[in-house]
Amino acid sequence: MKRAYYIFYKDFSSELRMRFALNALIMFVIVAVSTILFSLANEKVNQNVYAGMFWVVVFFSAMSGLSRTFVSEEERGTTLILSLIANPISIFIGKFLFNLVLLFFINTIIAFLYMILFQDFSIQNWDSFLLAFILGNIGIAGSSTIIAAIISKANVKGTLYPVLAFPVLLPLILMLIEITKSAMEGNPISDVEAELMVLISYDIIMITASVLVFDIIWRD
Amino acid sequence: MNNIQLIVKNLKKTFNRRLVFDKLSFEVRAGERLVITGKNGSGKSTLIKILAGVMNESSGSFEYIFDSGKIDREDIYKIIGLVSPYLVLYDEFSAFENLKLFAKIRNLKIDDDKINQILEKAGLFNRRNDLVRTYSSGMKQRVKYASAILHDPLVLLLDEPTSNLDIEGKDFVDELVQNFRKDGIVVVATNETQDFKYGQRIINLDDYKNNQSK
């Protein structure tokens, strides 16, 4: 775990200096949220649509930034040195932690912007929403990290990332939209118990499977 | 004394249908220095990457034996120090920061003085706090040497060891190979004849190109 932490620390320090992912993510969030804001203008939209739009922005912001963690290592040629100083499991966990922190940071900004700019995006049941937010971020970070590792070895990295990520993340996003809708309507947490269980299962399966297959993806 | 041994058996590597080498077998014992040579494209760097555990072989096997026990594939990085032209360091950090990060990731108990000593030995002490991206290719090569010996490895893999180095740098490599731990192994991949002096034995990969090879 200590090794994974220092890989996270390396990526974090590197990101502070180079801004590989952060700038792309912040720009995407600003453009996406302002486009939605201007296109809706004063139009009254069904409250449920906001839940969908929130997670759509989260999904695409993840697509625009989270692949950098592996792609930048591959493009700069530093993959080899990383392989020589740490074992694959530490590398995966370190990269996953970095993506998780990045995702929490950027999604908190998205949620904050939605709450300020869209009056109809009001959460009535915070417990459900926060649980979905936390479990959703873990799931998206886990899936995005392993997919980033796969596409970093490919020639067409940019195009491949959303194509591979979409089917993997779709069930997660659908669950998150359901829970967010329920949280906006103020329904009790017991109403979305099944969806929350699916989220927990998804996170466990995705992270376990990723740790198991990462060694094969990383070598060669 | 602890004994490290490298055993390579019938190693084969292909890229798609292109054969790089086949039926490659050799053993290297503690204290031995081996030179791998061959024409461009003969697979020297590929073999070094396989021996470093960062690339898979197509068939055959290789293993490091230490104190009669086989070292797991995922632990090979702990005993390996690799220097090669295609090794790229984190150029947004200084040489000192690179080594400090590597030490932390490797979980080594190394203080700043020890890192400074290694950098001094590599002739980089005065530029240790400059970003690696501002270094010349020779200086980058020296940082690679510093990172390769940071964890006192049992096996030193050197691919084109003197590329980009000036006379002082080459002297540094000579000294490093000569003074490398006597219970360790050095494998040098090169086609520079002046580098053949590093090895007691030479293997030419051009001899392992087809099924009729030895």
In angstroms, the CA B62 to CA B186 distance is 16
In angstroms, the CA A163 to CA A63 distance is 10
Domain that holds residue B122: 31-56+77-208
Q: Backbone phi, then psi, for B102, in 5-degree steps? A: -60, -40
With a cut of 90, say whether residue B64 has pLDDT above it: yes
Count of domains observed in chain B: 1
Tell me the shortest Cα–Cα distance from B200 to chain A, in angstroms: 26
Kindly give the interhelix angle for B137-149 and B95-105, rounded to the nearest 10 degrees.
Answer: 30
A144-163: average pLDDT: 83
Q: Which long-range contacts (CB under 8 A, 24 or more apart) does B93-96 make?
A: B93/A13, B93/A14, B93/B131, B93/B132, B94/B128, B94/B129, B94/B130, B94/B131, B94/B132, B95/B119, B95/B124, B95/B127, B95/B128, B95/B129, B95/B130, B95/B132, B95/B135, B95/B143, B95/B146, B96/B128, B96/B129
The count of other CB atoms within 10 Å of the CB of residue A151 is: 23
Whether B156 and chain A come into contact, CB under 8 Å, resolves to: no
Q: Which of B88, B92, B106 sits opposite A85 (nearest CB)?
A: B106
pLDDT confidence band for A74 (50 / 70 / 90): confident
Q: Examine the predicted complex and report whether its ipTM is higher than 0.95.
A: no
The count of other CB atoms within 10 Å of the CB of residue A169 is: 25
Whether B132 and chain A come into contact, CB under 8 Å, resolves to: no
- Determine the 3-state secondary structure of B210 from DSSP: coil
pLDDT confidence band for A4 (50 / 70 / 90): very high
By C-alpha distance, the chain A residue nearest B157 is A84
- For residues A61 and B214, the model is more confident at A61
B176: nearest Cα among B197, B156, B203, B195: B156
With a cut of 60, say whether residue B211 has pLDDT above it: no
Kindly give the interhelix angle for A68-76 and A88-117, rounded to the nearest 10 degrees.
Answer: 130
Digit-coded pLDDT (tens) for A85-103:
998 999 999 999 999 999 9
CATH number of the domain within which B84 lies: 3.40.50.300
In angstroms, the CA B207 to CA B157 distance is 21
Whether B16 and chain A come into contact, CB under 8 Å, resolves to: no
By C-alpha distance, the chain A residue nearest B55 is A220
Contact A90 B105 (CB under 8 A): yes
Q: Which of A2, A74, A85, A217 to mutate to test the interface with B (most CBs of B within 10 A)?
A: A85
Instruction: Say if residues A100 and A138 touch (Cβ distance below 8 Å).
Output: yes
Tell me the shortest Cα–Cα distance from B77 to chain A, in angstroms: 5
DSSP string, A127-155: HHHHHHHHHHHHHHHHHHHHHHHHHTTSS
In angstroms, the CA B204 to CA A197 distance is 60
Q: Is residue B3 part of a domain?
A: no
Which residues in chain A are closer than 8 Å to B107, comparing Cβ atoms?
2-3
Digit-coded pLDDT (tens) for B12-28:
999 988 899 999 999 99
Which residues in chain B are closer than 8 Å to A10, comparing Cβ atoms?
90, 101, 105
Question: Quick one: pLDDT at residue B213?
Answer: 43
By C-alpha distance, the chain A residue nearest B97 is A10
Which residues in chain B are closer than 8 Å to A9, comparing Cβ atoms?
101, 104
pLDDT confidence band for B99 (50 / 70 / 90): very high
Which helix (H) or strand (E) element contains residue B12?
strand B4-15
> Would you state the structure tokens that stand for residue B156, as one six-digit string?
């030193």
CB pairs under 8 A between A and B: 70
The three-state DSSP-derived secondary structure of A168-214 is HHHHHHHHHHHHHHHHHHCCCHHHHHHHHHHHHHHHHHHHHHHHHHH
Which residues in chain A are closer than 8 Å to B74, comparing Cβ atoms?
87-89, 215
Tell me the shortest Cα–Cα distance from A193 to chain B, in angstroms: 40
**Alpha carbon B153 to its chain's center:** 10
Residues 149-208 of A with CB under 8 A from B: none
The count of other CB atoms within 10 Å of the CB of residue B158 is: 28
Instruction: Say if residues B81 and B149 touch (Cβ distance below 8 Å).
Output: yes
Q: Is residue B138 part of a domain?
A: yes
Digit-coded pLDDT (tens) for A9-41:
999 998 888 876 788 888 889 999 999 888 887
Q: Is residue B50 part of a domain?
A: yes
A127: nearest Cα among A50, A172, A180: A180
Q: What percent of chain A has pLDDT over 90?
A: 53
In angstroms, the CA A180 to CA A186 distance is 10
In angstroms, the CA B9 to CA B208 distance is 13
Q: Is residue B25 part of a domain?
A: no
Domain that holds residue A180: 2-218
DSSP letter for B131, please.
B
Tell me the shortest Cα–Cα distance from B202 to chain A, in angstroms: 25
pLDDT confidence band for A143 (50 / 70 / 90): very high
Contact B90 A9 (CB under 8 A): no
Residue-wise burial string across B187-201, b where 16 or more C-beta atoms lie within 10 A, e elsewhere: bbbbbeeebeebbee
Instruction: Say if residues A15 and A21 touch (Cβ distance below 8 Å).
Output: yes
> At which residue do the structure tokens 């759509």 appear?
A56
Count of domains observed in chain A: 1
> Would you state the structure tokens that stand for residue B202, as one six-digit string?
């030479």
